[in-house]
Amino acid sequence: MNKLSNTPVYHTPIYLDYAATTPLDPRVLEAMLPLLIEDGLHANPASSHGPGFRARAAVEKARAQVAALIRAEPTEIIWTSGATESNNLAIKGALEFRGAVQAHVITSRIEHKCVLDTCRYLETRGVRVTYLKPGAQGLVAPEQVMEALTPDTALVSLMWVNNEIGTVHEIERLAPLLRERGVLLHVDAAQAAGRVNIDLSQVPVDLLSLSAHKAYGPKGIGALFVRRRPRARLAPQMHGGGHEQGMRSGTLAPHQIVGMGAAFEILAREGPTEAVRLSALRERLWSRLQSLPNLHRNGDPDHAAPHVLNVSFEGVEGESLRASLPDLAVSSGSACSSATQEPSYVLRALGRDDELANASLRFSVGRRSTEVEIDTAAERVCRQVARLREISALWD
Amino acid sequence: MDMQSTSSNDANAYGYPPRIWQLFQQAPRAGRFEPGTPGVVAGKAGTPAARSVLSLEMRFEQGRVIDARFRAYGCPSSIAVGAWIAQWSQGREPAELAALSAAHLRAELEIPEDRAHCALMGEDALRDLLANIKT
Amino acid sequence: MPIYLDNNASTHLDPRVLEAMLPYLSGPAANASSLHRYGRLARDAVEAARAQIAQLVGAQPGEVIWTSGGTESNNLAIKGVAGNLAPARLLYGASEHPAVMEAAESLVSRGWTVQAIAVDKLGHVVESALQAQLARGKLKLVSLMRANNETGVIQDVARFAPAIHAAGAWLHVDAVQAAGKLPVDMAELGADLMSLSSHKIYGPKGIGALLVRADVELRPLLHGGAQERGLRGGTENVAAIAGFGRAAELVMQELEQRSAHLLPLRERLEAGLSSIPGLLIFGAGAERLPNTCQFALAGYDGEALLMQLDRRGIAVSSGSACASGSGEPSHVLIAMGYDAVTAKGAIRVSLGKDNTADDVDRLLAVLAEIARTLIAA
């Protein structure tokens, strides 16, 4: 009867929300600082004078670092303010360049909100959009995409790694099939960069969105890969000044760009080993949580990104579950929609009912996660779920 | 006890009203009576689809509540409503129970406007319980 | 270290601003849209900065939308307003920033009628031209800059606002160059939308704001996420936002002091320039920003002069940084009625709060030397 020992009490917070954003790596900050101090490389990189040239050189070095991680050419990297802008530019830019209002776009129901919102906007302009439903484990198969093609399909937009459930799409298999059919492929790789291998010298993706702050770089900076051979063409979405080969105007922010370059350089070196460590932490968390009955793992364990574990808890209500875990930084759905507290559209697309979708947590591990943290987090979750189930009118 | 309350305030990260937070945390009288306990009457309200279900059990002796239990599936406010009613009902007669309104619950627990339905669910569950006495 | 006299292109980061940013660069990870504890700390920082930006221009915090900078602010203002309306008419001043002009012209393909309003030799919008355009009806938006980035010429936007509103249009004011150098108040100017940039006021690059009055309906430019009331998707750039807020706060504290420092410096510069034969200052008769002086040395190409100055350790600009190196004459000076040769001779000196009289004297000495070799040749 006395539940006091189980009541939520404030503990040292544990951060398991690396898929929402990552802390800036101290080595990245160190690379950024020279551009933030007075007498540093503070000039506008578009300026034609010594300080401007030095700022531009720093920008170009970072461009090469970002290109290297995905095995692209530096000239194929366009700086943006983040993955949201990259996705907007890729999708609207490609469609607008074709001037094709009658065009058809294929995407999935589990894309990031910004891709879906962009597609919905395009629908208001007359574009037809097919939103593919993933299988129960959260994967859209390349065959599904190919079956949905129509003669006027202009673009396919499919994420490499899903941000909520961590499923990894078979982009390597899909890209050549679309290339053969001459259909442009855009891939949102915000969660994938540094976590799964991306080799654009081998995989014929046309447009690929990247984010720095999901990869231990700063917020406010991202990039869009735009293939040069064969050339993917875009209508600019931000006008004025003609920066970035005319595809994206606006003064560049060298400190952020240098930060993204440094972050991606670290990913290239450390990503593969780190992925092995993170996968082990993810599985450790899953096995610890299984001391509770009636859990559901969302996603496909055989096609899983190393950092994400999404679990639905039967018999508890989501808001109470989150309120019970104030010291655990996890997410219920993607960060962008958590304020609205609607059940995750991704989990619903997988066929989870509203109650279960609502009672789900996304754990995402990262560079500072440890086994001790994982064990502590699992213990807190198990304790609170058990407590809420004891209170619950739906649990017998 | 002081430390406990300090910690509790820290833990109330989403800023629930203090009464709601305390009752949600401690959930006094959560659970139900052993099957077959004499004098127990039950009432229920809410639906899983609305993500709120409240079930009340009260044990009557000589026309008064001598003990009560609640179970709730829902947000912290709905759990707090269940806990509050279970506690408040002690020693009361059905006529007093019938006088409890959602407005009263809202005022007592400082339930915000967007959670008014939790108070209504409390009133409904109690009404259902009272109806079960008469039959 | 070179002498940096290109503060209209970008200012350095004030160390006090960096200090305000560091907790969000080295602190715990924080996505301002996440609900948990870390997320709320970030959100508090974002909202505190929002209040600071609003205060700087006499607006409400709810009227501030974060953007990636002045270019995005201008694009969002123009395309955002147009995106919600059936094609109509839009006007902009002929000396506007390329971000305004190109964003406006991009609407032509969507059926909009877009017209530039002439400016006179001083860079002022020609009032009769504006009145004539206002009278033609179906007008939805007028975009005017408060101060020009090249010449520093100040536009009397407040005087035009009532007529623009009477014509049924909203007024967008590009205040990217004016903020931090002049008092800027949305209500006094009669602005319905206003663009601001952080890196022109000693804040970080990569962040700006669009101020939007509550009655103005916008369509987002960046779709996705509920950030910024659904008007601008994307994870908030918390450190930069905190820095921008701090930079705005410093402007509020130091504006008078900065102007009092800059104006005598510019007067010193222009007094010195006047002794160089064949030197022309653009917009000289107009009220200008206290830090800006754009001039041409007769017979000398601006780009060449820029490079000579750069070799001697002085960083100036030939116009706006965006157009640098394009070889095109400044559209601002062309609009003011100068011929292409004169316009291509332009050099812009834009002083910063930390420049000194020595910096100005050094520039004057080098210019005099270059002018002498020119005459000798």
Which residues of chain C does A36 touch, with a Cβ-Cβ cutoff of 8 Å? 13, 18, 21, 204
Q: What is the pLDDT of residue C229?
A: 79
Phi (first) and psi of residue C161, to 5 degrees: -55, -45
In whole angstroms, what is the distance from residue C199 CA to residue A41 CA? 13
In this complex, is the C-beta atom of A341 within 8 Å of any C-beta atom belonging to chain B? no
Q: Which residue, among C299, C272, C279, has the nearest Cα to C374 in the 3D structure?
A: C299
**CA distance from start to end of chain B:** 45
Q: What is the pLDDT of residue A266?
A: 98
Q: Is C114 helix (H, G, I), strand (E, B) or coil?
A: strand
Tell me if A162 sits within 8 A of A191, measured CB to CB.
yes
Distance from CA of C139 to the nearest CA of A (A): 22
In this complex, is the C-beta atom of A47 within 8 Å of any C-beta atom belonging to chain C? yes
What is the tens place of the pLDDT at every residue in C219-242? 998 888 777 777 888 888 999 999
Q: How far is CA C366 from CA C125, C151, C308, in A?
A: 35, 22, 9
Specify the DSSP element, H or E, that contains A296: strand A295-298
Q: What is the pLDDT of residue C227?
A: 78
Tell me if A72 sits within 8 A of A200, measured CB to CB.
yes
Mention every residue, 6+ apart, whose C-beta is less than 8 A from residue C180. Answer: C200, C201, C202, C247, C251, C255, C258
Nearest C-alpha in A relative to C109: A99
Q: What is the pLDDT of residue C243?
A: 98
Which residues of chain B does A387 touch, with a Cβ-Cβ cutoff of 8 Å? 27
Half-sphere exposure of A270 (CA within 13 A, CB side): 15
Q: What average pLDDT does the segment A277-291 reach? A: 98
Neighbours of C29 (CB within 10 A): 23
pLDDT range class, residue A4, cuts 50, 70, 90 = very low
Q: Is A163 helix (H, G, I), strand (E, B) or coil?
A: coil
**Residue A229 is encoded by which pair of tokens?**
């051979």
Neighbours of A311 (CB within 10 A): 22
Nearest C-alpha in C relative to B11: C37
Distance from CA of C37 to the nearest CA of B (A): 7
In whole angstroms, what is the distance from residue C221 CA to residue A88 CA? 8
Q: What is the pTM for the complete model shown?
A: 0.92
Distance from CA of C272 to the nearest CA of A (A): 23
In whole angstroms, what is the distance from residue C321 CA to residue C150 CA? 10
What is the tens place of the pLDDT at every residue in A38-85? 777 789 998 889 999 999 999 999 999 999 999 999 999 999 999 999
Q: What is the pLDDT of residue A99?
A: 80
* Residues shown for chain C: 377
- Apex C331 CA angle, C327 and C334, nearest 5: 105
CA C163 to chain centre: 24
DSSP-derived letter for residue A87 is H
What is the tens place of the pLDDT at every residue in C81-102? 999 999 999 999 999 999 999 9
Between chains, do B11 and A326 touch, taking CB under 8 Å as contact? yes
Tell me if C113 sits within 8 A of C82, measured CB to CB.
no
Strand C279-281, strand C193-197: pairing? unpaired
Q: What is the pLDDT of residue A396?
A: 72
Tell me if A110 sits within 8 A of A217, measured CB to CB.
no
What is the tens place of the pLDDT at every residue in A220-274? 999 999 999 999 999 999 898 788 888 898 999 999 999 999 999 999 999 999 9
Query: Which has the higher per-residue pLDDT, B29 or C302?
Result: B29
Which residues of chain C does A331 touch, with a Cβ-Cβ cutoff of 8 Å? 34, 36
What is the tens place of the pLDDT at every residue in A288-300? 999 999 999 999 9
What is the tens place of the pLDDT at every residue in A332-365? 754 443 433 677 899 999 999 888 898 999 999 9
Residue A130's beta-bridge partner residues?
A106
Distance from CA of C277 to the nearest CA of A (A): 25
Active-site residue flag, A382: no
Domain ranges in chain B are: 15-131
In A, residues 362-391, which contact B (CB 8 Å cutoff)?
387, 390-391
Q: What is the pLDDT of residue A337?
A: 39
Between chains, do C25 and A49 touch, taking CB under 8 Å as contact? no
pLDDT range class, residue C29, cuts 50, 70, 90 = low
Tell me if A262 sits within 8 A of A27, measured CB to CB.
yes
Examine the pLDDT at A9 and tell me if it is beyond 80.
no
Residue A155's beta-bridge partner residues?
A105, A184
Which residues of chain A does C9 touch, with a Cβ-Cβ cutoff of 8 Å? 43-44, 46-47, 52
What is the tens place of the pLDDT at every residue in C106-128? 999 999 999 999 999 999 999 99
Neighbours of A102 (CB within 10 A): 11
**Residue B132 is encoded by which pair of tokens?**
């079960």
As a whole number of Å, the CA-based R_g of chain A is 22
Considering the domain B15-131 in this protein, what is its CATH number?
3.90.1010.10
Q: What is the pLDDT of residue C322?
A: 52
In whole angstroms, what is the distance from residue A388 CA to residue B53 CA? 13
In this complex, is the C-beta atom of A4 within 8 Å of any C-beta atom belonging to chain B? yes
Neighbours of A295 (CB within 10 A): 14
Q: What average pLDDT does the segment C24-44 reach? A: 71
Between chains, do C100 and A42 touch, taking CB under 8 Å as contact? no
The one-letter amino acid at A97 = F
Which residues of chain A does B27 touch, with a Cβ-Cβ cutoff of 8 Å? 3, 7, 387, 391
pLDDT range class, residue C318, cuts 50, 70, 90 = confident
Tell me if C296 sits within 8 A of C302, measured CB to CB.
yes
Q: What average pLDDT does the segment C256-274 reach? A: 97
Nearest C-alpha in A relative to C22: A29
* Average pLDDT per block of 10 residues along chain B, 135 residues long: 38 85 94 94 91 94 96 95 97 95 94 91 96 79
In this complex, is the C-beta atom of B67 within 8 Å of any C-beta atom belonging to chain A? no
Specify the DSSP element, H or E, that contains A254: helix A254-289
All domains of chain A, ordered by start, with CATH?
26-266 (3.40.640.10), 272-390 (3.90.1150.10)
Distance from CA of A348 to the nearest CA of B (A): 14
DSSP-derived letter for residue A344 is P
Q: What is the pLDDT of residue B4?
A: 35
Computed from CA positions of residues A233, A235, A236, A242, in that sequence, does the dihedral angle turn out positive or negative?
positive
Mention every residue, 6+ apart, whose C-beta is less than 8 A from residue A152. Answer: A100, A102, A103, A104
Which residues of chain A does B44 touch, with a Cβ-Cβ cutoff of 8 Å? 393
Cis preceding linkage at A254, omega within 30:
no
- Apex C194 CA angle, C258 and C241, nearest 5: 70
Out of C224, C239, C315, name the one closest to residue A113 (CB). Answer: C224
Q: What is the pLDDT of residue C28?
A: 63
